[in-house]
Structures are given as structure tokens and as C-alpha cells.
């Protein structure tokens, strides 16, 4: 992969609760770049919450909508920060599209830290029936190689606040 000059899109990936949205907003303030959340774009288009899309149409339909939005955002000409959903790495095509125009930052977090951050939030369909450290560990385990492969930059977020994580990213861009 050739070395690109800044600026390019910055895409935040990572498991649910890794801080993609909060870090995305902070980065957008620091860098004066527009921030867009893939899940929010999907929700606006469908006029439904992500959980309702899963419930009514199933995961496959959601993944298709997600891929469409990722492809569109990757092609945007103005430089943006975009925050994916945790499952964006499940489709290789998404990663190819993102890498065409952007740098992928993986926000890494441990199962315990993820659990602590999202245990009271019931909006995530994939953890709706089993919000536990075990379930998170199991899902994270299967996705780890995908995040590892996709990442241009890795930032460990355990025990750090949003400002610290954002500063680390900017330093390493």
C-alpha cells in the first residue's frame, strides 16, 4: 500500500463499546473535519432504529445497508471521519472500499472494559439476549483477526478517556 499524504478519510473501527462515536466526535472537533456515523445514516434512511431493522428484516439486510453506506462514504470527496458499526469488518468488501481512500484506526478494548461501558445500554441487537463478559469475549475472539488485518493504526483504549485516545490517534496519523 502506497503511503498517502494527509488528509484522507479516517475510519474508526472496533467492537461495540470501543468508543468509535465518542472518539469520532472529539476528533472532528480537534481536526475540524466532519464526522459521520454509519449506523446513524442507516437509521435516517430507514427511519428506524438499528435494533428495529434487525428485528424486522434480520442481520443480512442490515449488513447490506451497512455496505452500501460504507461504499458511499468511502467515495465522498470531502475528507471525513467516519465511525463504522462494530461488524463492519465482517465483510471484506467494506474494508477494501474504506482502504481505497482512508486510513483505518482500530479502537481496541478488552471484554471487561467493553462490558463496563455498555452493560446498561440495551440498544445493541447482537447482545440483547445475552449481555455478558463471556458473550462479548466470544464475539470479540472471532472478530479479532479481522480487526487486526484491517487496522492501519491500533489504539488501546482500556482505562483511557476520549481525549487521551483522540490525542494518541492524532499523534500517530
By CB under 6 A, name the binding residues for ligand S3P.
16, 20, 39, 50, 85-87, 124-126
Q: For ligand S3P, which is the closer residue by CB, 39 or 169?
A: 39
Known binding residue 124? Answer is yes
Q: Any residues with CB less than 8 A from the CB of 151 and at least 6 apart, and which?
A: 13, 104, 105, 106
Residue 143 in marked binding region: yes
Q: Which is nearer to ligand S3P, 7 or 124 (CB)?
A: 124
CA distance 95 to 89: 6
* 3-class DSSP assignment, residue 77: coil
Strand duo 80-83 + 102-108: pairing: unpaired
The CB-of-24 to ligand S3P minimum distance in angstroms stands at 10
20 is in an annotated binding site: yes
3-state secondary structure at position 33: coil
Binding-site positions for ATP: 17-22, 124
Binding-site positions: 17-22, 39, 63, 86, 124, 143
Amino acid at each position: 500500500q502506497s503511503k498517502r499524504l494527509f488528509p484522507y478519510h479516517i475510519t474508526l473501527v472496533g467492537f461495540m463499546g470501543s468508543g468509535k462515536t465518542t472518539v469520532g466526535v472529539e476528533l472532528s472537533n480537534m481536526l475540524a473535519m466532519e464526522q459521520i456515523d454509519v449506523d446513524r445514516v442507516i437509521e435516517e434512511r430507514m427511519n428506524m432504529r438499528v435494533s428495529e431493522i434487525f428485528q424486522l428484516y434480520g442481520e443480512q439486510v442490515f449488513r447490506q445497508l451497512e455496505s452500501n453506506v460504507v461504499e458511499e462514504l468511502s467515495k465522498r470527496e470531502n475528507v471525513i471521519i467516519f465511525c463504522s458499526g462494530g461488524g463492519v469488518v465482517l465483510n471484506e468488501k467494506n474494508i477494501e472500499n474504506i482502504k481505497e481512500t482512508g486510513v483505518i484506526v482500530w479502537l481496541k478494548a478488552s471484554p471487561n472494559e467493553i462490558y463496563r461501558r455498555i452493560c446498561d445500554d440495551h440498544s445493541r441487537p447482537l447482545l440483547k439476549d445475552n449481555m455478558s463478559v463471556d458473550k462479548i469475549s466470544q464475539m470479540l475472539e472471532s472478530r479479532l483477526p479481522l480487526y487486526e488485518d484491517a487496522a492501519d493504526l491500533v489504539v488501546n483504549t482500556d482505562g483511557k478517556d476520549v481525549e487521551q485516545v483522540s490525542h494518541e490517534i492524532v499523534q500517530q496519523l
